[in-house]
Amino acid sequence: MPVNRIGLVVHGARPAARAAADTVRAWCAGHGIPCAEVDVWSDGRPRLGGKEEAAAAGHPDLIITLGGDGTFLRGARIAAKDNARVLGVDLGHVGFLTEVPADGVRQALDAVHEDRATVEERMTLTLRTSRSLEVPSGMEPLLRDGRCPALPTPQPRADGEDGADGAGGWGVPLDVTALNDVVLEKLVRDRQVALAVYFAGRLLASYSADAVIVATPTGSTAYSFAAGGPVLSPHMDAVVFTPVAPHMPFNRTVVAAPDEPVAARVLPHSGQVVVSIDGQLRGVLGPGDWVGVYPAPSRLRLVRLGPTDFFGRLRERFSLTDAPATVADGQAPALFRSPDSDVPEDLVGLRLPPALEE
Protein backbone atom coordinates (compact mmCIF):
# COMPACT_ATOMS: atom_id res chain seq x y z
CA MET A 1 0.00 0.00 0.00
CA PRO A 2 1.62 3.31 -1.03
CA VAL A 3 1.90 6.19 1.40
CA ASN A 4 -0.78 8.87 1.04
CA ARG A 5 -0.21 11.12 4.06
CA ILE A 6 2.46 11.17 6.79
CA GLY A 7 2.27 12.25 10.41
CA LEU A 8 5.56 13.12 12.14
CA VAL A 9 6.26 12.70 15.86
CA VAL A 10 9.59 14.40 16.64
CA HIS A 11 11.72 14.37 19.78
CA GLY A 12 12.30 18.11 19.56
CA ALA A 13 15.16 18.15 22.09
CA ARG A 14 17.39 16.06 19.82
CA PRO A 15 19.10 17.82 16.89
CA ALA A 16 19.34 14.47 15.10
CA ALA A 17 15.56 14.11 15.30
CA ARG A 18 15.01 17.55 13.82
CA ALA A 19 17.46 16.80 11.02
CA ALA A 20 15.72 13.49 10.28
CA ALA A 21 12.39 15.32 10.20
CA ASP A 22 13.78 17.63 7.53
CA THR A 23 14.75 14.54 5.52
CA VAL A 24 11.20 13.18 5.79
CA ARG A 25 9.71 16.52 4.74
CA ALA A 26 12.04 16.69 1.72
CA TRP A 27 11.08 13.15 0.71
CA CYS A 28 7.38 14.03 1.02
CA ALA A 29 7.83 17.17 -1.06
CA GLY A 30 9.58 15.16 -3.77
CA HIS A 31 6.73 12.64 -3.88
CA GLY A 32 3.84 15.09 -3.52
CA ILE A 33 2.74 13.53 -0.21
CA PRO A 34 1.26 15.75 2.54
CA CYS A 35 3.17 15.74 5.82
CA ALA A 36 2.15 17.18 9.20
CA GLU A 37 3.73 17.11 12.64
CA VAL A 38 1.52 15.53 15.33
CA ASP A 39 1.56 15.49 19.14
CA VAL A 40 2.99 18.97 19.40
CA TRP A 41 2.07 21.42 22.11
CA SER A 42 2.67 24.95 23.32
CA ASP A 43 1.37 27.24 26.01
CA GLY A 44 -1.67 27.93 23.87
CA ARG A 45 -2.22 24.41 22.54
CA PRO A 46 -2.69 21.52 24.95
CA ARG A 47 -2.09 17.91 23.97
CA LEU A 48 -5.00 16.11 22.34
CA GLY A 49 -6.37 12.61 22.42
CA GLY A 50 -5.27 10.14 19.74
CA LYS A 51 -8.37 10.51 17.56
CA GLU A 52 -8.20 14.30 17.71
CA GLU A 53 -4.51 14.28 16.80
CA ALA A 54 -5.16 12.04 13.81
CA ALA A 55 -8.05 14.19 12.62
CA ALA A 56 -6.06 17.43 13.02
CA ALA A 57 -3.30 15.95 10.84
CA GLY A 58 -5.75 14.87 8.13
CA HIS A 59 -5.74 11.18 9.11
CA PRO A 60 -2.22 10.13 8.06
CA ASP A 61 -1.91 6.50 6.98
CA LEU A 62 1.73 6.39 8.14
CA ILE A 63 3.03 7.77 11.44
CA ILE A 64 6.82 8.22 11.64
CA THR A 65 8.42 8.67 15.05
CA LEU A 66 11.86 10.24 15.36
CA GLY A 67 13.40 9.50 18.74
CA GLY A 68 13.52 6.49 21.03
CA ASP A 69 10.91 4.07 22.33
CA GLY A 70 9.28 6.87 24.36
CA THR A 71 8.73 8.91 21.21
CA PHE A 72 7.45 5.78 19.51
CA LEU A 73 4.78 5.39 22.21
CA ARG A 74 3.65 8.95 21.48
CA GLY A 75 3.06 7.99 17.87
CA ALA A 76 1.57 4.61 18.71
CA ARG A 77 -1.33 6.10 20.67
CA ILE A 78 -2.31 8.08 17.55
CA ALA A 79 -1.74 5.30 15.03
CA ALA A 80 -3.74 2.74 17.02
CA LYS A 81 -6.74 5.07 17.06
CA ASP A 82 -6.78 5.54 13.29
CA ASN A 83 -5.58 2.14 12.03
CA ALA A 84 -2.46 3.82 10.67
CA ARG A 85 0.90 2.14 10.22
CA VAL A 86 3.75 3.35 12.41
CA LEU A 87 7.48 3.39 11.62
CA GLY A 88 9.97 4.09 14.39
CA VAL A 89 13.27 5.79 13.56
CA ASP A 90 15.92 5.14 16.22
CA LEU A 91 18.29 7.91 17.28
CA GLY A 92 21.33 6.59 19.07
CA HIS A 93 19.90 3.72 21.14
CA VAL A 94 18.91 0.14 20.43
CA GLY A 95 15.16 0.11 21.00
CA PHE A 96 12.64 -2.71 21.00
CA LEU A 97 10.10 -0.69 19.03
CA THR A 98 12.09 1.51 16.67
CA GLU A 99 13.02 -0.02 13.33
CA VAL A 100 15.55 1.99 11.32
CA PRO A 101 18.56 4.23 12.11
CA ALA A 102 18.35 7.94 11.33
CA ASP A 103 20.58 7.65 8.26
CA GLY A 104 18.23 5.08 6.76
CA VAL A 105 15.06 7.20 6.76
CA ARG A 106 14.94 7.89 3.04
CA GLN A 107 15.54 4.25 2.10
CA ALA A 108 12.88 3.16 4.61
CA LEU A 109 10.33 5.56 3.12
CA ASP A 110 11.09 4.23 -0.36
CA ALA A 111 10.57 0.66 0.85
CA VAL A 112 7.22 1.46 2.47
CA HIS A 113 5.98 3.51 -0.48
CA GLU A 114 7.00 0.80 -2.96
CA ASP A 115 5.32 -1.93 -0.89
CA ARG A 116 8.59 -3.66 0.01
CA ALA A 117 7.92 -3.50 3.74
CA THR A 118 5.73 -5.71 5.92
CA VAL A 119 3.29 -4.86 8.71
CA GLU A 120 3.56 -6.61 12.07
CA GLU A 121 0.55 -6.40 14.39
CA ARG A 122 0.88 -6.07 18.16
CA MET A 123 -1.71 -6.61 20.86
CA THR A 124 -2.87 -3.53 22.80
CA LEU A 125 -4.87 -3.08 26.00
CA THR A 126 -7.89 -1.00 26.92
CA LEU A 127 -9.82 -0.60 30.14
CA ARG A 128 -13.10 -0.02 31.91
CA THR A 129 -13.41 1.85 35.16
CA SER A 130 -16.18 2.13 37.73
CA ARG A 131 -16.39 5.84 36.88
CA SER A 132 -14.75 8.20 34.43
CA LEU A 133 -11.11 8.97 35.19
CA GLU A 134 -10.45 12.39 36.66
CA VAL A 135 -7.45 14.37 37.89
CA PRO A 136 -8.35 16.27 41.08
CA SER A 137 -8.18 20.05 40.86
CA GLY A 138 -4.69 21.40 41.50
CA MET A 139 -3.03 18.01 41.15
CA GLU A 140 -2.16 18.10 37.44
CA PRO A 141 1.18 19.93 37.89
CA LEU A 142 2.28 17.14 40.25
CA LEU A 143 1.41 14.47 37.70
CA ARG A 144 3.26 16.03 34.77
CA ASP A 145 6.68 14.65 33.95
CA GLY A 146 8.23 18.13 33.78
CA ARG A 147 8.94 17.92 30.06
CA CYS A 148 5.56 18.28 28.42
CA PRO A 149 1.91 18.92 29.25
CA ALA A 150 -0.12 16.02 30.53
CA LEU A 151 -2.39 14.12 28.17
CA PRO A 152 -6.12 14.65 28.67
CA THR A 153 -8.03 12.14 30.75
CA PRO A 154 -9.44 9.33 28.60
CA GLN A 155 -13.04 9.85 27.54
CA PRO A 156 -15.81 7.23 27.58
CA ARG A 157 -16.05 5.33 24.32
CA ALA A 158 -18.78 6.58 22.04
CA ASP A 159 -20.08 3.03 21.56
CA GLY A 160 -20.32 2.37 25.31
CA GLU A 161 -23.80 1.19 26.28
CA ASP A 162 -23.40 1.99 29.98
CA GLY A 163 -22.76 5.72 29.68
CA ALA A 164 -20.30 7.85 31.59
CA ASP A 165 -21.53 6.69 34.99
CA GLY A 166 -21.27 2.93 34.39
CA ALA A 167 -24.95 2.51 35.26
CA GLY A 168 -25.17 -0.89 33.60
CA GLY A 169 -22.85 -2.46 36.16
CA TRP A 170 -19.98 -3.11 33.75
CA GLY A 171 -18.33 0.24 34.27
CA VAL A 172 -17.28 2.94 31.82
CA PRO A 173 -15.46 1.76 28.66
CA LEU A 174 -12.66 4.24 28.02
CA ASP A 175 -11.53 5.38 24.60
CA VAL A 176 -7.85 4.61 25.18
CA THR A 177 -5.27 1.98 24.18
CA ALA A 178 -2.00 0.92 25.78
CA LEU A 179 0.80 -0.70 23.81
CA ASN A 180 3.04 -1.35 26.84
CA ASP A 181 1.09 -1.32 30.08
CA VAL A 182 -1.54 -0.01 32.45
CA VAL A 183 -0.12 0.75 35.91
CA LEU A 184 -1.96 1.35 39.18
CA GLU A 185 0.44 3.02 41.60
CA LYS A 186 0.45 4.82 44.92
CA LEU A 187 0.10 8.59 44.88
CA VAL A 188 2.04 9.39 48.05
CA ARG A 189 5.11 7.71 49.47
CA ASP A 190 3.67 6.60 52.82
CA ARG A 191 0.40 5.09 51.55
CA GLN A 192 0.48 1.76 49.72
CA VAL A 193 -2.21 0.85 47.23
CA ALA A 194 -4.45 -1.92 48.52
CA LEU A 195 -6.11 -3.78 45.68
CA ALA A 196 -8.23 -6.90 45.36
CA VAL A 197 -7.01 -8.44 42.08
CA TYR A 198 -9.23 -10.65 39.95
CA PHE A 199 -8.43 -12.84 36.94
CA ALA A 200 -11.34 -13.76 34.66
CA GLY A 201 -13.69 -12.50 37.35
CA ARG A 202 -12.26 -14.62 40.20
CA LEU A 203 -10.27 -13.29 43.14
CA LEU A 204 -6.56 -14.16 43.07
CA ALA A 205 -5.40 -12.16 46.12
CA SER A 206 -5.58 -8.77 47.80
CA TYR A 207 -2.31 -6.88 47.36
CA SER A 208 -0.66 -4.12 49.36
CA ALA A 209 2.07 -2.76 47.10
CA ASP A 210 3.76 0.26 45.59
CA ALA A 211 2.04 -0.54 42.30
CA VAL A 212 0.69 -3.29 40.09
CA ILE A 213 1.36 -3.53 36.37
CA VAL A 214 -0.82 -5.05 33.66
CA ALA A 215 1.31 -5.35 30.54
CA THR A 216 1.21 -6.68 27.00
CA PRO A 217 3.96 -8.97 25.67
CA THR A 218 5.39 -5.86 24.00
CA GLY A 219 5.47 -4.13 27.38
CA SER A 220 7.02 -7.12 29.15
CA THR A 221 10.49 -5.63 28.53
CA ALA A 222 9.53 -2.25 30.05
CA TYR A 223 8.34 -1.50 33.61
CA SER A 224 7.17 -5.07 34.20
CA PHE A 225 10.67 -6.39 33.47
CA ALA A 226 12.24 -3.82 35.80
CA ALA A 227 9.89 -5.04 38.53
CA GLY A 228 11.04 -8.65 38.07
CA GLY A 229 8.56 -9.82 35.46
CA PRO A 230 9.33 -12.26 32.63
CA VAL A 231 10.20 -11.48 29.02
CA LEU A 232 7.50 -12.51 26.56
CA SER A 233 7.81 -12.66 22.81
CA PRO A 234 5.92 -9.69 21.32
CA HIS A 235 4.48 -12.00 18.68
CA MET A 236 2.17 -13.68 21.21
CA ASP A 237 -1.02 -12.48 22.90
CA ALA A 238 -1.12 -12.55 26.70
CA VAL A 239 -1.88 -10.37 29.72
CA VAL A 240 1.05 -9.97 32.15
CA PHE A 241 0.34 -9.02 35.79
CA THR A 242 3.35 -7.95 37.90
CA PRO A 243 3.16 -6.51 41.44
CA VAL A 244 5.75 -3.89 42.46
CA ALA A 245 7.18 -4.26 45.99
CA PRO A 246 4.19 -6.19 47.36
CA HIS A 247 3.98 -6.54 51.16
CA MET A 248 3.11 -10.24 51.03
CA PRO A 249 4.88 -13.58 50.44
CA PHE A 250 3.42 -14.11 46.96
CA ASN A 251 5.31 -11.65 44.75
CA ARG A 252 5.33 -13.50 41.43
CA THR A 253 4.15 -12.41 38.02
CA VAL A 254 1.03 -14.09 36.65
CA VAL A 255 0.62 -14.50 32.89
CA ALA A 256 -2.98 -14.88 31.74
CA ALA A 257 -4.58 -15.72 28.41
CA PRO A 258 -5.85 -12.76 26.39
CA ASP A 259 -9.47 -13.68 27.15
CA GLU A 260 -8.82 -13.63 30.91
CA PRO A 261 -9.21 -9.95 31.91
CA VAL A 262 -7.49 -8.52 34.97
CA ALA A 263 -9.53 -6.37 37.34
CA ALA A 264 -8.47 -4.51 40.49
CA ARG A 265 -10.80 -3.08 43.12
CA VAL A 266 -9.41 -0.34 45.39
CA LEU A 267 -9.93 -1.48 49.01
CA PRO A 268 -11.37 0.78 51.74
CA HIS A 269 -8.06 1.49 53.51
CA SER A 270 -5.99 2.03 50.37
CA GLY A 271 -4.20 5.23 49.53
CA GLN A 272 -5.22 7.03 46.35
CA VAL A 273 -4.37 5.20 43.14
CA VAL A 274 -2.84 6.84 40.08
CA VAL A 275 -3.72 5.22 36.74
CA SER A 276 -0.85 5.41 34.22
CA ILE A 277 -1.16 4.29 30.60
CA ASP A 278 2.09 3.74 28.69
CA GLY A 279 3.92 5.85 31.25
CA GLN A 280 1.48 8.77 31.11
CA LEU A 281 -0.54 9.57 34.25
CA ARG A 282 -4.17 9.76 33.17
CA GLY A 283 -6.31 9.83 36.33
CA VAL A 284 -6.71 9.17 40.04
CA LEU A 285 -9.02 6.66 41.74
CA GLY A 286 -9.92 6.12 45.38
CA PRO A 287 -11.35 3.46 47.69
CA GLY A 288 -14.35 1.68 46.20
CA ASP A 289 -13.32 2.34 42.60
CA TRP A 290 -12.25 -0.42 40.25
CA VAL A 291 -10.39 -0.92 36.95
CA GLY A 292 -10.68 -3.76 34.44
CA VAL A 293 -7.93 -4.27 31.84
CA TYR A 294 -8.34 -6.44 28.75
CA PRO A 295 -7.22 -6.64 25.09
CA ALA A 296 -8.33 -3.76 22.91
CA PRO A 297 -10.12 -4.50 19.62
CA SER A 298 -7.52 -2.44 17.73
CA ARG A 299 -3.99 -3.72 17.19
CA LEU A 300 -0.94 -1.62 16.51
CA ARG A 301 0.45 -1.96 12.97
CA LEU A 302 4.25 -1.72 13.02
CA VAL A 303 6.17 -1.29 9.78
CA ARG A 304 9.02 -3.78 9.46
CA LEU A 305 11.65 -3.71 6.72
CA GLY A 306 12.82 -7.25 7.42
CA PRO A 307 12.38 -10.17 9.85
CA THR A 308 12.16 -9.04 13.47
CA ASP A 309 15.22 -10.01 15.49
CA PHE A 310 13.60 -9.62 18.91
CA PHE A 311 15.92 -11.98 20.74
CA GLY A 312 19.00 -10.44 19.16
CA ARG A 313 17.77 -7.06 20.35
CA LEU A 314 17.13 -8.54 23.77
CA ARG A 315 20.75 -9.74 23.99
CA GLU A 316 22.06 -6.37 22.81
CA ARG A 317 19.70 -4.11 24.76
CA PHE A 318 20.43 -5.77 28.11
CA SER A 319 24.09 -6.49 27.31
CA LEU A 320 23.56 -10.17 28.00
CA THR A 321 26.80 -12.02 28.71
CA ASP A 322 27.48 -15.73 28.59
CA ALA A 323 28.12 -17.82 31.69
CA PRO A 324 31.80 -17.74 32.78
CA ALA A 325 31.88 -21.55 32.65
CA THR A 326 31.28 -21.42 28.88
CA VAL A 327 34.29 -19.22 28.07
CA ALA A 328 36.45 -22.27 27.34
CA ASP A 329 33.91 -23.32 24.69
CA GLY A 330 34.36 -20.11 22.71
CA GLN A 331 31.68 -17.84 21.30
CA ALA A 332 28.58 -19.74 20.19
CA PRO A 333 27.32 -19.10 16.63
CA ALA A 334 24.91 -16.19 16.35
CA LEU A 335 22.37 -18.26 14.38
CA PHE A 336 21.13 -21.81 14.89
CA ARG A 337 20.47 -23.26 11.44
CA SER A 338 22.21 -24.79 8.45
CA PRO A 339 22.79 -21.97 5.95
CA ASP A 340 23.09 -24.21 2.90
CA SER A 341 20.06 -26.49 3.22
CA ASP A 342 16.31 -26.21 2.77
CA VAL A 343 14.05 -25.98 5.82
CA PRO A 344 12.55 -29.41 6.68
CA GLU A 345 8.84 -29.76 6.08
CA ASP A 346 7.94 -29.98 9.77
CA LEU A 347 9.73 -26.66 10.43
CA VAL A 348 8.13 -24.72 7.59
CA GLY A 349 6.09 -21.84 8.97
CA LEU A 350 8.15 -21.44 12.13
CA ARG A 351 10.02 -18.22 12.85
CA LEU A 352 13.59 -18.95 11.81
CA PRO A 353 16.43 -16.67 10.67
CA PRO A 354 16.86 -16.40 6.92
CA ALA A 355 19.49 -18.47 5.17
CA LEU A 356 22.90 -16.87 5.02
CA GLU A 357 23.87 -15.51 1.64
CA GLU A 358 27.10 -16.81 0.17
Residues carrying an active site annotation: 69
- 266 neighbors 195 (Cβ within 8 angstroms): yes
Nearest Cα neighbor of 188 from 246, 269, 273 is 273
**Which pairing describes strands 273-277 and 280-285: parallel, antiparallel, or unpaired?**
antiparallel
What type of residue is 356?
L
Helices 105-113 and 15-31 pack at an angle, to 10 degrees, of 40
CA angle 246, 170, 258 (to 5 degrees): 60
- Enumerate the β-bridge partners of residue 42: 45
- 99 neighbors 64 (Cβ within 8 angstroms): no
User: If DSSP codes are grouped into helix, strand and coil, which group holds residue 38?
Assistant: coil
Burial class (CB in 10 A: 0-12, 13-18, 19+), 12: middle
d(CA 214, CA 276): 10
At residue 251, φ and ψ (nearest 5 deg) are -120, 20
Nearest Cα neighbor of 213 from 150, 270, 293 is 293
